[in-house]
């Protein structure tokens, strides 16, 4: 039995509610199945609310701290602060509101960013901000081209560690961060497609002063409403978009004309009251991952092996490249957790597969096949067979 199947077969019984053994779920890069134990977290929250009523918040904060500690371990980042919110978009907006955008209206980004970042920056551009989109390709000169754009008008650099369209890993972050540091420019890294897929030591890579946007909806299996902004411990930014959760220490202080206060804590970019049920669910998943020894190294090996088989089987079919082809030919070490394929009928292929209850994902002319740790080799083989059938029927 292959290493892929050894791990997948050990995990499958723990995902019975999602029925992962009987379905081709290849949207692992977008929405992974939750282990059965996550259901216990949902009911635990109800029971805590019923028992503790408004005293539930202490228990809720304890669950959030479990998630923070998981991320600190993953990123080798014991001193980093991690602010929880329901979406990375809110965290991004709160962070952006900390910058002097009026006097420094320039933000450097790339042409490969996810919709939330692209849309928000596009709208700010309509209001007069200078949004510079550096082409991610060619990769060899990417870091140099980003650094070249830095000037006195730059408020921030915002870019991904793994690109959401082509699954390529950005290998220039340390280089860019070092150059930005010299001029005091903050670097914000969207790591939605990196967390739990591509190990990262923030200390070894020299990214201690960087900001990371992290989401639990995909590879973490935490589900919705478990997003985090990682920021340096010595951060003193004062976001304009702010909620009362950012200053618990002053709640009972009399109101006066002093500047708005921010606690020196993980909560600096927080909003306000929220539904903590998602943290109870996610804390159970963290417990499960530890029990199953799903370390960063184990997960990376599983994803790299699965994507490697997907790619090999795809190439064996000898598809007409005018119909469908690999989005890139880089080595597996440069690839994230999914296989990216380019086709003029990507969305039609996705719809055809979904009509047969096969879950994939399409963005523009790219169809993405994302396995998960519980995906077996036989399911990978069946996925490519079904894709071939769709291509033959449609193209």
pLDDT at 225: 95
pLDDT at 203: 97
pLDDT at 12: 98
The string of pLDDT tens digits covering residues 68-112 is 999 999 999 999 999 999 999 999 999 999 999 999 999 999 999
- C-alpha distances in Å from residue 313, one per residue of 24, 32, 122, 310, 382: 16, 23, 39, 5, 10
For 171, other C-beta atoms within 10 Å of its C-beta total 13
Does 1 have pLDDT greater than 90? no
% of the chain exceeding 90 in pLDDT = 95
For 36, other C-beta atoms within 10 Å of its C-beta total 15
Q: Which residues are registered as beta bridge partners of 224?
A: none
The string of pLDDT tens digits covering residues 45-75 is 999 999 999 999 999 999 999 999 999 999 9
- pLDDT (mean) for 120-146: 96
pLDDT at 75: 98
Where does the pLDDT of residue 38 fall: very low under 50, low under 70, confident under 90, or very high at 90 and above? very high
Summary mean pLDDT of the chain: 97
Name the segment(s) of the chain with CATH classification 3.40.640.10.
39-287
Alpha carbon distance 362, 17 (integer Å): 25
DSSP state of 150: -
CATH number belonging to the domain at 39-287, selected among 1.10.238.10, 3.40.50.150, 3.40.50.2300, 3.40.640.10: 3.40.640.10
pLDDT at 18: 98
Where does the pLDDT of residue 155 fall: very low under 50, low under 70, confident under 90, or very high at 90 and above? very high
Helix (H) or strand (E) holding 46: helix 37-52
Where does the pLDDT of residue 358 fall: very low under 50, low under 70, confident under 90, or very high at 90 and above? very high
Does 252 have pLDDT greater than 90? no
Does 251 have pLDDT greater than 90? no
Where does the pLDDT of residue 122 fall: very low under 50, low under 70, confident under 90, or very high at 90 and above? very high
Which of helix, strand or coil describes residue 83?
strand
- pLDDT (mean) for 353-373: 97
- pLDDT (mean) for 11-19: 98
Could you please state the CATH topology (level 3) that the domain comprising 3-33+295-394 is classified under. 3.90.1150
Q: Which two tokens stand for residue 66?
A: 């479990």
The string of pLDDT tens digits covering residues 301-338 is 999 999 999 999 999 999 999 999 999 999 999 999 99
Where does the pLDDT of residue 291 fall: very low under 50, low under 70, confident under 90, or very high at 90 and above? very high
Which of helix, strand or coil describes residue 302?
helix
Does 250 have pLDDT greater than 90? no
pLDDT at 301: 98
Does 248 have pLDDT greater than 90? no
pLDDT at 111: 95
For 184, other C-beta atoms within 10 Å of its C-beta total 8
% of the chain exceeding 70 in pLDDT = 100
Which of helix, strand or coil describes residue 13?
helix
Does 395 have pLDDT greater than 90? no
Where does the pLDDT of residue 223 fall: very low under 50, low under 70, confident under 90, or very high at 90 and above? very high
- pLDDT (mean) for 198-214: 98
pLDDT at 218: 94
- pLDDT (mean) for 275-290: 97
Name the segment(s) of the chain with CATH classification 3.90.1150.10.
3-33+295-394
């Amino acid at each position: 039995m292959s290493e892929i199947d050894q791990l997948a077969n050990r995990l499958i019984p723990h995902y019975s509610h999602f029925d992962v053994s009987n379905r081709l779920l290849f949207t692992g890069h977008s929405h992974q199945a939750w282990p059965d134990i996550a259901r216990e977290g949902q009911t635990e929250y109800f029971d805590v609310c019923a028992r503790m009523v408004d005293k539930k918040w202490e228990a809720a904060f304890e669950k959030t701290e479990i998630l923070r500690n998981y991320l600190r371990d993953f990123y080798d980042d014991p001193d980093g602060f991690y602010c929880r919110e329901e979406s990375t978009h809110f965290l991004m907006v709160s962070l952006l509101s900390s910058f002097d955008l009026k006097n420094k209206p320039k933000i450097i980004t790339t042409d490969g960013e996810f919709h939330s970042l692209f849309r928000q920056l596009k709208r700010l551009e309509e209001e007069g901000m200078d949004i510079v989109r550096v082409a991610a390709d060619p990769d060899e000169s990417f870091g140099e081209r980003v650094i070249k754009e830095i000037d006195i008008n730059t408020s921030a650099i915002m870019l991904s560690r793994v690109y959401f369209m082509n699954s390529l890993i950005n290998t220039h972050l340390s280089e860019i961060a070092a150059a930005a540091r010299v001029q005091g420019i903050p670097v914000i890294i969207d790591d939605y497609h990196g967390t739990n897929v591509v190990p990262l030591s923030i200390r070894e890579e020299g990214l201690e002063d960087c900001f990371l946007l992290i989401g639990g909806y995909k590879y973490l299996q935490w589900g919705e409403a478990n997003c985090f902004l990682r920021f340096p411990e010595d951060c003193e930014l004062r976001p304009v978009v702010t909620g009362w959760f950012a200053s618990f220490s002053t709640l009972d202080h009399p109101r006066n004309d002093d500047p708005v206060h921010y606690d020196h804590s993980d909560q600096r970019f927080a909003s306000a009251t929220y539904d903590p049920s998602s943290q109870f669910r996610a804390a159970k998943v963290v417990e499960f991952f530890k029990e199953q020894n799903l370390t960063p190294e184990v997960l990376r090996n599983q994803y790299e092996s699965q994507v490697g088989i997907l790619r090999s089987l795809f190439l064996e079919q000898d598809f007409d490249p005018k119909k469908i082809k690999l989005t890139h030919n880089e080595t597996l070490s440069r690839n994230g957790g999914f296989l990216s394929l380019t086709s003029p009928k990507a969305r039609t292929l996705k719809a055809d597969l979904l009509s047969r209850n096969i879950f994939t994902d399409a963005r523009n002319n790219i169809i993405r096949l994302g396995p998960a740790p519980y995906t077996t080799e036989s399911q990978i083989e069946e996925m490519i067979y079904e894709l071939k059938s769709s291509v033959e029927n449609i193209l």
